[in-house]
Structure 1
């Protein structure tokens, strides 16, 4: 038997997405919180940025009684924090820190970062400064709490997510060497840039020099902080085997542990309300479609969707549209298809003509003008989705069996048209489609199967590779997840595979559909946090052993 694992007494975890719903990292942390809270009972603290001035975070509930003595002590020492609960299952303690005061010492911080760790902040622009000041403030929170509340000899972990937390991790490494540091990169900044700039990532991965590419693609500072943090922390981690290869090649540092992303099924409605919520979601989506397109859809219509961040190529939105375009001409398609693109764009306002129609409670037989989009965008003519639909002559004509609707807003329940949260909307789908080109893990397909919605993904997504490993072969739609082989160059084949899978699904009997839905749900159970949390304990053990050696 091996040595007994070292377990932390306290865990501090920071991310730009604590109480701030931006992307997949929010889902990682917010769904994992309950599992860790059950084990550590208010000895895990999530630290996020406090930029909520004009409105409060909808995911944070301040509690002025919580850790009041420490908060007052921190305030006396010039550290402005708000303490409360993150309103997700488990309700863990969240500390939001005001990072704005530290902009005044930015240059000194960057100077010492260069001297101590050779981090190049010279080429910083955009969000680098904001992220770095937050990272520093988060580290001050850990340092202050440690010095005031924690007994010597107690084991402490500081876990930072993404390059945005790098400066703080290095600060803790230098100032409090007795704290074990864990760094998770969910996607390398340089890998994402290579993919997003239409360069082939996978076939040439072995040949790329990360530093050289960072210079070429103007992400030197982000790459530098990420690379040096990976080098100096006690335990360097990522979320999938595919990104582990990327880290080794582009950051010149193999990861210590892969931490696959799990899910917490307390987000999924129980049996009694599941069917009711699913019916409501479908009715709502059909209502939006009728008001926009002037066409009635019965429940036999296939509702499909793609969603995620607006990374047109990386998330596979381009190939999704191409597949829907080909599906228009597929003679074997047995049902009408209503295809949604739920990707937040540069959204202006909800369409008044659409909102008016929906509020009247009538049904319509004439379409609105521009029947492809639910909200006006700030730059309609420069939008990738609308431009590609125009190029492909996809105008949602009456005779088209496939209609594509762009919902370019965050589905937070207050978008002005659908007014439903993403999890409530996803329930109404028959199929979800995520043909990613660059996807370190892939929460959207995992969320879909958790809600018993079969989905299509690729083997360039960590989740797709994991689904294949569970099956011991390429997973198919009858298994609940169709995993398509994707490379740097087979865009057309991927579009055809999506088209063929939707067509195949349109011919399924009720029994075959029920079986695929059941298999999707069963697969999601294998990705619960209870199955994956052990990897985190492994990472904590590695970090604590290195810290104790110091």
Structure 2
């Protein structure tokens, strides 16, 4: 008998044998499908106790744990009275949390983000942007507000990092098993899986909709990796930030346009759309299209969209904002111009600075700013940087007048606090204090905690971290093929009595991870001080296309093998959320050394601060707000040199000096009980005076006060009476814009400042008559602006004073001003007219100015 090749090939089909959970353990299955378990310690500890080793191997994933448990173990648990008692207690806490009613009379918010860092077992994030979004959704649940998230469900997510023996970064993409994630299909009323169609270059791509329960709220995720789609379309939700620029465009179309369609299919009807970065910008195009299809004109539709949109930018440099060439926009979105009843050049102008520059790419941030009433940066400093970056969109205004505000990023306390630290706080702060976690008076009670108790708690966390470091290095170095002698040498030199400093974040070149190595001789002396051991821990990933960042990783790995740095300079591969917890909870000092002012916010230092790890950072991002001289150390915000190499050299030498002269001596200045009173002063001050300002509760409150509540009101206003006010406001804008170029100065009676000086203390007076060309004078304001010239290209606004309108006759308006500028020196001034309307949230809402 002859067996052919075809006959001998294996032919397999997939079958899912669903585990049968005993009825006594039904609560385990229910709780595993809501990631609330990740921040209720009682619940996560219950799952861990079932099989600690397996739970760790499965990335602390309860769904995977239950699926992989042998039936015998499940039956054993079902008969374990002690376990069932703990299960009942955990379920009671779980259900009590979920049972609290949602806050009333608040707007419903749809929050769009390309990534969400919720837990290590959910490969939906790459770094800080995603972790911030994940923390924000958790706080939305804790604060019981009406918010839901929209994103993409990635099959492979962001890469897992490996290292070669030489320190080269390796990229691994293990697939997620959706059956082992706490996600559920969203079903239509007929029971079928909800799918939405999105046009991608002439093809209709079908996206399944999943829901992920995050406490009391939901995150909805789109997934194209299924049989209904062609292979290239299935790949749309394979990798986060994978592929080329065209692939990124397709993903952003899916997120924005597909996300809005999913919301409509589910009937969620949000009041506000919050765009977390420009990745979601296309959602505004889909909303515009829907309003135009419902009978509104494009200007009217634009008012409806703007009145309910908030755009948050996280990027401090122009090159970091997504942009696409016109030919790609034409290939993928040409039909939208027709759908919006506008010409193609007008469509492209939504994402351009110069509508007539056909070589300019379509910029997602410019689109999002133009179609959002409110815009914010993610720290006070970043808000100012963003104003400067986007001033060019608003000619006639200086950076400080641009309507971009800020809300400083923060972190989710229950996710990032060490359990032992929380227990120590709670003994002094009181029961349920976390509900009022942004109250600094509560945090100041940390001064009542005994120094020794706090020191011992922190030391245990450091020992836990260093034990993890040893074990991870042992496994990773063996896998890389390092010699046993090298491995033993490094592990044997890790000293639990050392001052431990941590640097862990995305390895982009501007973050200057290797600044510390600028003077190797001085660093060598620093880490080899007798009786004062020091360890520097590094971790982080560089984007696969960022070869500069990968070079930094290689450099650190190679230095870490040199005998004088072995066990003292350590790079930990495959940085993730669980490692981040161990690091921020266990190090003594958290380092951050970005090039100023390129750190939009940063949040890892906040996580360290609430755990009592003292920060040492450049005064950039959040630390520019958080720094106190009694709660940490800082490199100055101001640059000394234009040459970045010289600035790096200065910063490195400053770091060495602060470490040698202040930080290390203070840490090792121990009393008879073995602790440093001076050091514990810093620890308590960063907890008491810094941590409360950077809790996610404060950030959520800020978003409501500064943006959500005003937007909720404007959204209600434009929806009323069949969009009556939106239509009238759009018509007013069109008419005002049409007549603006015909404004004319008839008279300008002002002090002759060319030939005469204005004495200090005397009033500056002027009278101006303007021909208004049919524009109602009630909708015009004339302002005197006094500027100080800083250099040939920069002026700073020092004083603004509105004129009084004293007459309106025969198509003219007369304005008069008499004001003491309260200034001295040389200034430049001008008279600027701008439109006003009771529906304008800020002057740039109709971006017209006329200079007298």
Taking a change above 3 Å as real, the CA distance of residues 340 and 545 of structure 1, as seen in their structure-2 partners, is: same
Query: 2-side partners of 1:37 and 1:316: how far apart?
Result: 36
Taking a change above 3 Å as real, the CA distance of residues 381 and 163 of structure 1, as seen in their structure-2 partners, is: closer
1:133 offset after TM fit, Å? 2.6
Residue 49 (structure 1) aligns with: 152
Query: 1-side partners of 2:179 and 2:461: how far apart?
Result: 22
3-state SS in 2 of match to 1:441? coil
3-state SS in 1 of match to 2:586? coil
Q: How many residues align?
A: 450
| Structure 1 stretch displaced more, 26-35 or 265-274 | 265-274
1:188 offset after TM fit, Å? 4.7
1:484 aligns with 2:641: no
Instruction: Select 2:502's aligned residue among 282, 288, 305.
Output: 305
Query: 2-side partners of 1:498 and 1:71: how far apart?
Result: 62
| Structure 1 stretch displaced more, 158-167 or 68-77 | 68-77
1:232 aligns with 2:371: yes
Residue 831 (structure 2) aligns with: none
Taking a change above 3 Å as real, the CA distance of residues 102 and 226 of structure 1, as seen in their structure-2 partners, is: farther
Residue 361 (structure 1) aligns with: none
3-state SS in 1 of match to 2:492? coil
Instruction: Select 1:61's aligned residue among 182, 190, 196.
Output: 182
Instruction: Select 1:159's aligned residue among 274, 281, 295.
Output: 274
| Structure 1 stretch displaced more, 336-345 or 170-179 | 170-179
Query: 1-side partners of 2:658 and 2:271: how far apart?
Result: 49
- TM-score normalized by the length of structure 1: 0.71
3-state SS in 2 of match to 1:260? coil
Taking a change above 3 Å as real, the CA distance of residues 132 and 315 of structure 1, as seen in their structure-2 partners, is: farther
Query: 1-side partners of 2:492 and 2:467: how far apart?
Result: 14
Instruction: Select 2:418's aligned residue among 253, 269, 281.
Output: 269
| Rg comparison, structure with higher value | 2
1:425 aligns with 2:573: no
3-state SS in 1 of match to 2:411? coil
Residue 242 (structure 1) aligns with: 381
Taking a change above 3 Å as real, the CA distance of residues 68 and 505 of structure 1, as seen in their structure-2 partners, is: farther
Query: 1-side partners of 2:623 and 2:547: how far apart?
Result: 34
Query: 2-side partners of 1:244 and 1:58: how far apart?
Result: 42
Residue 465 (structure 2) aligns with: 281
1:39 offset after TM fit, Å? 4.2
1:465 offset after TM fit, Å? 1.4
Cα deviation code 1:245-282 (max 9, x no counterpart):
33333333534431211222112123358554442112
Instruction: Select 1:75's aligned residue among 180, 189, 195.
Output: 195
Unaligned stretches of 5+ residues in structure 2? 1-103, 119-123, 157-174, 198-205, 234-243, 292-300, 323-350, 394-401, 425-456, 475-486, 670-675, 719-725, 727-852
1:494 aligns with 2:494: no
1:32 aligns with 2:136: yes
Instruction: Select 1:98's aligned residue among 199, 223, 228.
Output: 223
Instruction: Select 1:541's aligned residue among 705, 709, 734.
Output: 709
Cα deviation code 1:163-185 (max 9, x no counterpart):
11111133224535556111111
Query: 2-side partners of 1:323 and 1:183: how far apart?
Result: 42
Report if the CA contact (8 A) 1:457-1:481 is conserved: yes
Residue 293 (structure 1) aligns with: 490
Cα deviation code 1:496-530 (max 9, x no counterpart):
22222322221112212222222222211221122
Query: 1-side partners of 2:176 and 2:663: how far apart?
Result: 44
Report if the CA contact (8 A) 2:560-2:571 is conserved: no
Taking a change above 3 Å as real, the CA distance of residues 162 and 380 of structure 1, as seen in their structure-2 partners, is: closer
Matches within 5 A, 1:64-143: 64=185, 69=189, 72=192, 74-75=194-195, 80-86=208-214, 90=215, 92-98=217-223, 124-125=245-246, 127-143=248-264
Cα deviation code 1:303-339 (max 9, x no counterpart):
2121111102x21213233267632235995622221
1:454 offset after TM fit, Å? 0.7
Query: 2-side partners of 1:105 and 1:52: how far apart?
Result: 14
Query: 2-side partners of 1:441 and 1:13: how far apart?
Result: 20
Query: 2-side partners of 1:30 and 1:212: how far apart?
Result: 33
Cα RMSD between the aligned structures? Answer: 4.1
Report if the CA contact (8 A) 1:98-1:137 is conserved: no
Residue 614 (structure 2) aligns with: 454
1:85 offset after TM fit, Å? 1.6
1:158 offset after TM fit, Å? 1.2
3-state SS in 2 of match to 1:507? helix
Cα deviation code 1:128-160 (max 9, x no counterpart):
332333222112222333xx354xxxx611111
Taking a change above 3 Å as real, the CA distance of residues 546 and 480 of structure 1, as seen in their structure-2 partners, is: same
Cα deviation code 1:341-386 (max 9, x no counterpart):
2012479xxxxxxxxxxxxxxxxxxxxxxxxxxxxxx999972333
1:16 offset after TM fit, Å? 0.9
3-state SS in 2 of match to 1:142? helix
1:526 aligns with 2:721: no
Residue 109 (structure 2) aligns with: 11
Taking a change above 3 Å as real, the CA distance of residues 143 and 70 of structure 1, as seen in their structure-2 partners, is: farther
3-state SS in 2 of match to 1:309? coil
Cα deviation code 1:92-147 (max 9, x no counterpart):
311111257899999xxxxxxxxxxxxxxxx95452332333222112222333xx
1:536 offset after TM fit, Å? 0.9
Residue 343 (structure 1) aligns with: 540
Cα deviation code 1:429-481 (max 9, x no counterpart):
1211111112100112112112211111112x22121114xxxxxx33x4135
Unaligned stretches of 5+ residues in structure 1? 1-5, 107-122, 195-209, 214-218, 348-377, 414-420, 469-474
3-state SS in 2 of match to 1:250? helix
- TM-score normalized by the length of structure 2: 0.47
